[in-house]
Structure formats: structure tokens, C-alpha cells
Amino acid sequence: MVHGEVDRIQRELARLPEMQEVTVQYANSSGFRHGVRVLFTGRAGSDLPALTDAALKAVWTSRITPLETLIVWGKAEGSETVTKTELDVSDTETMGRLTEQFGPRPAN
């Protein structure tokens, strides 16, 4: 189920008009606990905070479980500036913030 959800999220994000390239990965390895990593390049001049929020929402509202770590790194085409969001989603405060912003996680 995890890999099907990862593929679905990648397709969903790739369809965004401002998205040029996106990679979504699920991993559970040393230093990266049960987490999703989204790496993207937006089109030149794209709204990076909006693309980051779209990635956070897509993962948060997915059925991927367990989910303890959520990382989104993005940049715009032609820019060296990278936005980095790294969250411990097992943290109660972080879960509350994501739930308030994007709604609750779905029941599995």
C-alpha cells in the first residue's frame, strides 16, 4: 500500500502547473524513520511555499503509515535557493499544526 500511495502522490504533484519535476520516496532506514521525502523543482518563478504546502498536504492526507518523518525540499528552475521543510510528524505539536492546516490524517 505504501508504494501505491507514493506513486499516487507523485502523479498528483506532477500534475500541478508550476511543478517541473518531482520525486517522492518512502524510506525506513538508519537516520530516516518511517518517512516520506519529496524533492521537487518548480518552474522558473514558481511559488515555492505553495508547492511545499501542496506536497505536505498530499503526504499528510495520504494513507501512508507509519509516518514519522516528512521532508520536502524544493527549488525553482534556474535558482540555487532551496527551501527545506523537515518535520517530525510523530511530535504532538507538529501533528496538531498539520491537522489544523490540512485536516486530519485518514483512518487506515
Question: Which pLDDT tens digit goes with each residue over 65-101?
Answer: 889 999 999 999 999 889 999 999 989 999 999 999 9
pLDDT band at 33 (very low <50, low <70, confident <90, very high): confident
* Nearest to 69, CA basis, from 88, 93, 41: 88
**What is the pLDDT at residue 3?**
77
Arithmetic mean of pLDDT, 29-50: 88
* pTM reported for the whole predicted model: 0.92
Arithmetic mean of pLDDT, 37-44: 96
Write out the three cell numbers for 64. 501512508
- Domains of the chain, by residue range, sit at 2-102
2-102 is classed CATH 3.30.300.30: yes
* Nearest to 48, CA basis, from 83, 13, 98, 14: 83
